[in-house]
Structure 1
Amino acid sequence: MTPSNSALARIHIAKKELALTDEAYRDILHHYFQVDSAKELNERQARDLINLFKAKGWQPRFDGQKQQRKTDGQYLEIKPGPAAKQQRKVLALWHALGYDINKIHARVKKQFGVDRFEWLEDSKALHILITDLEHRLKTQGTQKK
């Protein structure tokens, strides 16, 4: 089985950042794995090649760690769970309307008595929010025409 696209990308990034010539790179592939191309590697061999590049001094930027999202303060982390899909929809609608994300907490507290939006897991309450925001979005769209 061929390596994943992300593994191939990491291999080629490492090759470039280590400033390996095509000849040196192919020599490594042939010497360690008896192949002429990274596409001929299996998944384990691709990991081994990446580790070999690390041993030669390559330092991947993210090295498999979850990349932190860059935000402008307009982002809330939604935890997996039964209400996550509805919560994401509320946030998408909220964003589409151009509302300040920090004000969603005040709305949820006033309307449902829950201090933070992320803690609102009642599907009926979330449905009420979704319906209202969809109506506002529709109304906003017709007003612009």
Structure 2
Amino acid sequence: MSRNPALAKIHIAKKELAIDDETYRAMLQSIAGVSSSKDLTDAGVTKVLAHLQRCGWKPKAAAQAGKKPSVGRGRKALIGKVEALLAEAKRPWSYADAMAKRMFGVDKTDWLDADQLVRLVAALTYDAKRHGRNLG
């Protein structure tokens, strides 16, 4: 497990288990011999995560790759184009959702209006050209 996501899991567990800072630091000291998570070794991270799970914390499954949005007929062709561009780039629907959030402040691709979908297709097309992918 890479370091930053592992440390993030420790802090998520701390929050979800409602552990106060003093108790948290005491736990780090007793489990791994450090007073701050930044000082944890890889083995220490593993020990702390295992301890937090024994205390009742259940890590959530990783986010799914996303699903194709359901939309009305008027936007079906645009959604099909987005789907094709994502497939060509081997990217999940969550990538398009993240672009929608960044470009328009809208959380989901299926919430975009037709004009926004046209602009999303343009951005994905630009990305494909930039990365040298064949568009047809």
Instruction: Return the TM-score normalized by structure 1.
Output: 0.49
- For 2:45 and 2:59, the matched residues in 1 are separated by 15
Q: Which has the higher helix share?
A: 2
- For 1:48 and 1:32, the matched residues in 2 are separated by 7
Query: 1:58-69 maps to which residues of 2 (within 5 A)?
Result: 58-62=57-61, 65=62, 67-69=63-65
92, 96, 101: which one pairs with 2:121?
A: 96
- For 1:48 and 1:97, the matched residues in 2 are separated by 47
Aligned with 2:60: secondary structure? coil
**Structure of larger gyration radius:** 1
Structure 2 CA distance for partners of 1:29 and 1:96, relative to 1, 3 Å: same
| 1:23 Cα deviation from its structure 2 partner | 0.7
Equivalenced residue count is 86
Q: Deviations over 1:28-65 (max 9, x none)?
A: 11111111101101112102211110111001112xx5
Q: Which runs of 5+ in 2 are unaligned?
A: 71-78, 91-95, 97-117, 124-132
Name the residue aligned to 2:46: 47
Instruction: Return the TM-score normalized by structure 2.
Output: 0.52
- For 2:17 and 2:52, the matched residues in 1 are separated by 8
Q: Which runs of 5+ in 1 are unaligned?
A: 79-86, 99-125, 130-145
Q: Which runs of 4+ in 1 moved over 2 A?
A: 73-78
